Amino acid sequence: MKAYDVPPTPENYEIWYAQAAAASPALSQAMEAVFANGGAWSEAAAASLRERFFPPANDAESMLEIATGLGSSISSIQESVTQAGHHTRSYGKALEVVSGQMDRGVDSATLQAVARQLAAATQAMRSRAEILESRLNQASSEIDGLRSKVDAISQEARTDGLTALANRRHFDEKLADAFTTSEQICVIMGDVDHFKGFNDTWGHQAGDQVLRLVGACFRENIKGRDTAARYGGEEFAVILPDTTLRNARTLAEQIRTSVESKKVVKRSTGESLGSITISLGVATLRAGDSPDELVRRADACLYTAKRSGRNMVVSDEQLTVVKNSATAA
């Protein structure tokens, strides 16, 4: 940390300790990317790494609570099963006694006594079985409740709280999955135009309203196995498995026109804040690509769209044409 001039904060220590412990190869690669090409550590880089690789503290506390509850339920089941075993052995011994008595021959009075003894043992066994069933049902219900909590926490950990899209961590997971299941993948990167100016002029609440609106435009235009995510700040992304570049570009245009058609209204006063636009870049998988390289190329297309006037879509075959033209010149 000293060599890379990283401030010795608790948050930074947590990241670098995980790196030193080799806790996650993906974390190591992401940290290497921070310093690639002379890059430097920053608060933004640390925040991005924490969002991608470290669950919020409340998530960890919830998981500890769930683990404790699950351990208690399992202990209860084990205790009930153990008691059931003892009761079954006791019932078996009672049956052996009755069987022995029957083998020796019995008169009418003794037979009645044996029958009563057998009935009492059977009733006791039935009562114990009912208690066991009740305990098992209760434990099963508790485990179902814990499972629901796990599902809720898992969903929350994968979701951006403001836009309800996938968050950066889930985006990375889905892109890695796509690389193992799809031969053709496209990625769209989008960035809200002039967002900082909008925020500075109208305030962060209006800015949040814009991000929710843009998130809705992404969500409404994707389908099936597509994944739309808030990549960070005012930047959005879409993973399109088994999609051609042409179709991905068409989708990006749909998102662009959808955003452009929206009118932003200040909720407190009804005042119109005007329209917003978004610039988008589209890249398709090439031989030898890594997930980071595919995203980097989509990002390069995005910033070409920004430099070319904003509110447009640029795909990576356009970048290839530009590069080839420059080389020929």
At 313, is the secondary structure helix, strand, or coil? Answer: strand
> Which residues are registered as beta bridge partners of 190?
236, 280
pTM exceeding the 0.85 threshold for the entire prediction? no
What digits encode the pLDDT tens for the residues 17-58? Answer: 888 877 677 788 888 888 887 788 888 788 888 777 776 655
- In the set 65, 220, 234, 271, the catalytic residue is 234
What digits encode the pLDDT tens for the residues 233-281? Answer: 899 999 999 999 999 999 999 999 999 999 888 777 777 888 899 999 9
Residue 193's pLDDT is: 95
Residue 9's pLDDT is: 84
What digits encode the pLDDT tens for the residues 271-307? Answer: 788 889 999 999 999 999 999 999 999 999 999 999 9
Residue 326's pLDDT is: 41
Buried b (16+ CB within 10 A) or exposed e, 226-262: bbbbbbbebbbbbbbbebebeebbebbeebbebbeee
Indicate if 234 belongs to the active site: yes
What digits encode the pLDDT tens for the residues 54-67? Answer: 766 555 555 556 55
Residue 209 makes CB contacts below 8 A (sequence gap 6+) with 264, 267
Break the chain into its structural domains and give their ranges.
10-53, 57-158, 168-328
CATH code of the domain made up of 168-328: 3.30.70.270
